[in-house]
Amino acid sequence: MKTKPCPTGCIPRFTIPLHCDGLILIPSVTGHIFVCNPATKEFVELPPGTPNALLDQRVAFGFDPSSGTYKVARHFLRSYSEEQIDTEYDTGHEVLTLGDGRETLEWKATIDPPYPIKGRTPICLPGFFYWSAVQSVADADQGKLDTDVILRFSMCDGTFTVHPNPPCSSCLCPNDLMCELGGGKLCYVHSPSPLQVSIWLAQDVQNIITWSLRCRVNMPIPRSVRVFACASADKDMVFLAVDARNLFKCNLRDGSLETVVDMRYGLKYNRGEGVNFIHSELLFLHYMVPYVESLLRIGPC
């Protein structure tokens, strides 16, 4: 394990950061995974996991109440073969535990996922990781149509269970994502058009997930790629970021929006020596995490 400050340029191209109880995990497309605590200034590079046959790594990060520890999970491809009609994948899954008092950090293999996991950012709720997976692929007029499911991985017993997408979509489209609402609720943000968003809320009854439409939202500006969502302290509110640039606060009771900030022009950064600047049209993307300051140590006890 490496514990060090974050020097300029040490993080390769990365995917969406993840947050849990004051810790932020940054997975990169090269396979490097970093965990940092902004409050304690700790910055840790996790040991490498099982080699991945493709650069589509996604990592999950969250708290396991059954053991009182924090866990990182990652899926990987041992191998794959592309056929004329379909592609076969040999998919693996492993977990690393933080805060268990051990002197070294190591990845431990779990059972394999029942379906190939998609390269999408997963969601963690206490005790569970939620992944998007491809259940089947249909050939329609020489094209391919995915039928997706949600795989829920239990940190307690290390098993997967299979659950449906909401009825708005049979697959997790490029414009859609899963996220967490306040109070630890799983939700699904579906964007059928650049100016429309629907938010679906999951209900878990006896380990069976069903979906209900929470609200529909008419966006004041069109998205180009995706509407990101982030939980707020109020369970009836959620933050929505259009293309990670314009930030709104959404009232889930009626779908109304309140403008928070244009992140291109409304955020000021300090270079030091009292000099502030604005990024404006430079190619920066802003990611939201529901940050709560913590003194939790990342390194071994």
Q: What is the pLDDT of residues 13-72, one digit of tens each?
A: 556 788 888 888 988 877 789 998 888 888 888 999 888 877 666 789 999 999 999 999
Alpha carbon distance 216, 200 (integer Å): 9
- Where is average pLDDT lowest: 88-102, 110-124, 179-193, 272-286? 272-286
- List 34's β-bridge partners, or say none: 26, 45
Given a contact cutoff of 8 angstroms between Cβ atoms, the answer to whether 109 and 119 are in contact is no
Residue 113 tokens read as: 């996922």
For 197-202, which contacts have Cβ atoms below 8 Å and span 24 or more sequence positions?
197/227, 197/240, 198/168, 199/229, 199/238, 199/250, 199/252, 200/166, 200/168, 202/166
Q: Where are the domains of the chain?
A: 1-164, 173-286
Alpha carbon distance 59, 238 (integer Å): 23
Q: How many contiguous H segments (helices) and E segments (strands) does the chain have?
A: 0, 23
List the end-to-end C-alpha distance of the chain, in Å, as a whole number.
13
Specify the residue for token string 């709560």. 292
In terms of residues, how long is the chain?
301
Alpha carbon distance 134, 119 (integer Å): 10
DSSP assigned state of 252: T
- Where is average pLDDT lowest: 39-43, 160-164, 262-266, 285-289? 285-289
Alpha carbon distance 23, 36 (integer Å): 6
Confidence of residue 5 (pLDDT cuts 50, 70, 90): very low
DSSP assigned state of 99: S
For 176-179, which contacts have Cβ atoms below 8 Å and span 24 or more sequence positions?
176/226, 177/120, 177/121, 177/226, 177/228, 177/229, 178/120, 178/121, 178/122, 178/123, 178/130, 178/132, 178/150, 179/123, 179/228, 179/229, 179/230, 179/231, 179/238
- List 6's β-bridge partners, or say none: none
**The pLDDT of residue 30:** 75
Dihedrals phi, psi of 217, to nearest 5 degrees: -130, 130
Global pTM reads 0.82
Tell me: the pLDDT tens digits for 175-204?
788 888 877 789 898 988 899 999 999 998
Beta sheet of 42-45, edge-to-edge order: 2-3, 42-45, 33-37, 23-27, 18-20
Closest CA to 45 of 96, 85, 90: 96
The upper half-sphere exposure of residue 228, i.e. CA atoms within 13 Å in the direction of its Cβ, equals 20
Determine if residue 127 is left, alpha or beta; phi over 0 gives left, psi from -120 to 50 gives alpha, anything else beta.
Answer: left
Fill in the amino acid letter for 257. L
Given a contact cutoff of 8 angstroms between Cβ atoms, the answer to whether 210 and 202 are in contact is yes
Confidence of residue 268 (pLDDT cuts 50, 70, 90): confident
Residue 250 tokens read as: 């959404």
